[in-house]
Amino acid sequence: MRRTEEKENDFLAGYSRTGASTIGECIADGRRVADAICTKDDGQWRREESIPFMDPEIRLQEISVKKGAIEAKPNPRCDYDPATFGATEKARCLECDFVCNKCVDVCPNRANIAVPVRGNPLFSDPFEIVHIDAYCNECGNCGHFCPWHTGVPYVDKPTVFSLKEDLHNSENPGWFVDEETLLVRFDGTVKTVSWDDARAAARGNGAEARFYALFLELYKQRPGLFGPVEPAVAGVPR
């Protein structure tokens, strides 16, 4: 049962405060409690974190290896050496702050893809997530597993549509390509744009420039993802 009354110097964190949650939420809660205790002792206290610089290319390679080999050892309950345990935990951290892509890993239908955008100054992360409307059955997995809870990937992420009516029936930002036509929804507005307009927009700044730059990058890398498909016929798979 969750406790609701407040008691001075009692701090609840993780499951005891929220009920069943994720490990990430519990870790974040633990840090919030630690911050609250420090601030209670010293009103001027502020968390300071200095993250050592690491070459992004080397970091990317190391994270890729770790993502393929998640190991937890030693078990702190039977063989507790704080230094070894700390080193092991550090080594298996997946560094979701730099490369997350969790919504790609957990989608059973491969309906989210990570588009490499390294080198484009418009983007601060090495990958951008794009959603493929036609593959998604709206199971919700990607939203549940998103460690940042920044939204629901299958709703929020720029989306490739395979039918014009699918774009109109959705509220996702995204693109539909049909021969010479590029139909987009950006910031809630649907419009047809020319390829020249798209290229010009991608040379600008801010969210709109990123939206068009991501489209052009994906179109260059995976043109087969774009284009219309035959509308579904009941009982016949597309």
Measured CA to CA, the distance from residue 40 to residue 43 in angstroms comes to 6
For residue 82, whether the previous peptide bond is cis, meaning omega lies within 30 degrees of 0, is: no
Nearest residue (CB) to ligand SF4, 136 versus 163 = 136
Would you say 137 or 221 has its CB closer to ligand SF4?
137
Instruction: Tell whether residue 159 is a contact of ligand SF4 (CB under 6 A).
Output: no
- Rounded to whole angstroms, the Cα distance separating 57 from 213 reads 22
Judged by CB under 6 A, does residue 112 bind ligand SF4?
Answer: yes
Kindly report the number of other CB atoms within 10 A of residue 199's CB atom. 13
* Residue of 81, 138, 165, 178 that binds ligand SF4 (CB under 6 A): 138
Among 13, 107, 113, 201, binds ligand SF4 (CB under 6 A): 107
| Minimum CB–partner distance for residue 92 and ligand SF4 (Å) | 18
C-beta of 131 vs 185, nearer to ligand SF4: 131
Is residue 139 part of the contact set for ligand SF4 (CB under 6 A)?
Answer: yes
Q: Identify which range of 77-85, 87-95, 139-147, 162-170 contacts ligand SF4 by CB under 6 A.
A: 139-147
> With contact defined as beta carbons under 8 Å apart, do 210 and 122 qualify?
yes
The residue range among 56-64, 130-138, 170-178, 199-207 that interacts with ligand SF4, by the rule CB under 6 A, is 130-138
Q: What number of other Cβ atoms are within 10 A of residue 85's Cβ?
A: 16
CB-count burial class (<10 Å; 0-12, 13-18, 19+) for 62: middle
Residues 216, 182 contacting (CB under 8 angstroms): no
Assess 205 for contact with ligand SF4 (CB under 6 A): no
Q: Which of 171, 157, 107, 169 is nearest to 136 (CA)?
A: 107
140 counts as binding ligand SF4 under rule CB under 6 A: yes
Q: Per rule CB under 6 A, is residue 141 in the interface with ligand SF4?
A: yes
* Shortest distance in whole angstroms from residue 199 CB to ligand SF4: 26
Q: How far apart are CA 157 and CA 107, in angstroms?
A: 14
Q: Is 142 in the site for ligand SF4 (CB under 6 A)?
A: yes
User: Cα(24)–Cα(32) distance, rounded to whole angstroms?
Assistant: 12
Q: Is 113 in the site for ligand SF4 (CB under 6 A)?
A: no
In the complex, which residues of this chain contact ligand SF4 (CB under 6 A)? 100-103, 106-107, 109, 111-112, 129, 131, 136-142, 146, 148, 150, 153-154
